[in-house]
Amino acid sequence: MPDPSVPDDELAAARSKLDEARDVQAMATDGAGCPFVWLDADALRDGAGALQLLLPFQEIARRYPHWLHVETLTLDDACTRVRAHDHVAVSHRWDEAEQPDGKGVQLAALREYLRDRPQIKRVWLDYCCMPQNGAGGTGARTGGEEQTFTLMLRNVNLLYLGVSVLILTDRSYLSRFWTQFEAWLAMQDVGPSGLVSARHTSLHSRCTIVCVHGAPEALVSSLIEEWSDCTAEKAYEKLSSADVRVTNQSDKDDQLPKILALDGRVSAVAQRLRICPPASPGVMKSRRMRPSREPTRELAEEAVAVKRVLTA
């Protein structure tokens, strides 16, 4: 029974919040969308004095809570790329189990990326945006933090499909499950048939690849060659391989089935919203040239008509 001492308006507000929380959890559980925690890009872009190394989520929440923002990304948002122009997700390999970037190399590369792109307002990076469980000196996750972590992990594919992506690659990047999964999603476009290669369309406008730790630039073309032309079925096959390593096998077991399911769900969204993949530069060029052909044909016909008049 409700506490009779609680005013009706407070009770109604509490019930509304509870219903809203249930709706959000149902949406995230279904994979239709998720509230993600984002970092303020200006804090990383200009906060050199405050942040020399990446901090875990709990430490940022304690010291710099104003840096954190919660924004929901739905599957519809991801397919229509409504946040791709000013939101970026970082795909990177952890250098150590306790600290992904102990020397600040990845943070420096991220900061340079952001300074070159002042339009970016929000950044998602796992270590900073998901509650950690011991990494970076944090304690064990609380019950609420565990729920937040689980929901974001379950829907992380929406990030790499729907916003801009900064890939920080090194020699070990192509051996890890999560990094390759993220790279594949970053190189996909959306269409009525589902996920399609963005290699000749939006790849270079949405996905930026930066080599770190002295990795050769040849890794960029290797990464594109490996993942840009993969269908969902081929990506599933590659990522299922035993030589693709993952820290927690359960992550691989949970995410692999979602690859094929995501392909079907993207197809349904694209058909409902009438989304077509961007035209390749070759197609765009031919479309631009067509109008110039018509006047040429008209001039030729006019010339023939004039010649007939003159020779009559």
Kindly state the average pLDDT of the residues 113-131: 97
Residue-level pLDDT at 17? 64
pTM (two decimals): 0.84
225 within a domain of the structure (yes/no): yes
pLDDT digits (tens, 9 = 90+) for 22-45: 777 788 888 889 999 999 999 998
Domain match, 309 and 250 both = no
Total structural domains in the chain? 2
Domain match, 308 and 272 both = no
Indicate whether 196 pLDDT > 70.
Answer: yes
Q: Higher pLDDT residue, 298 or 129? A: 129
Domain match, 118 and 202 both = yes
- Closest residue by Cα to residue 228 from 192, 198, 263, 258: 198
Domain match, 206 and 297 both = no
Q: What value does the mean pLDDT of the chain take?
A: 86
Q: Higher pLDDT residue, 29 or 219? A: 219
Burial class (CB in 10 A: 0-12, 13-18, 19+), 64: middle
9 within a domain of the structure (yes/no): no
Which domain range does residue 81 map to? 33-278
pLDDT digits (tens, 9 = 90+) for 77-89: 999 999 999 999 9
25 within a domain of the structure (yes/no): no
Kindly state the average pLDDT of the residues 237-247: 94
Domain match, 209 and 132 both = yes
Residue-level pLDDT at 200? 86
Residue-level pLDDT at 49? 57
Indicate whether 183 pLDDT > 50.
Answer: yes
178 within a domain of the structure (yes/no): yes
Residue-level pLDDT at 306? 35
Domain match, 159 and 232 both = yes
Please state, for a pLDDT cut of 90, what percent of the chain lies above it: 69
60 within a domain of the structure (yes/no): yes
Domain match, 231 and 104 both = yes
56 within a domain of the structure (yes/no): yes
Domain match, 202 and 72 both = yes
Residue-level pLDDT at 126? 98
Indicate whether 131 pLDDT > 50.
Answer: yes
Domain match, 234 and 298 both = no
Domain match, 124 and 79 both = yes
Domain match, 304 and 161 both = no
Residue-level pLDDT at 284? 33
Quickly list DSSP for 262-306: HHHHHHHHHHHHT--PPPPHHHHHHHHHHHHHHHHHHHHHHHHHH
Please state, for a pLDDT cut of 70, what percent of the chain lies above it: 82
19 within a domain of the structure (yes/no): no
Domain match, 196 and 59 both = yes
3 within a domain of the structure (yes/no): no
**CA pair distance 186, 164, nearest whole angstrom:** 8
Burial string for 173-203 (b: 16+ CB within 10 Å, else e) reads bbebbbbbbbbbbbbbbbbbebbbbbbbbbb
Residue-level pLDDT at 300? 43
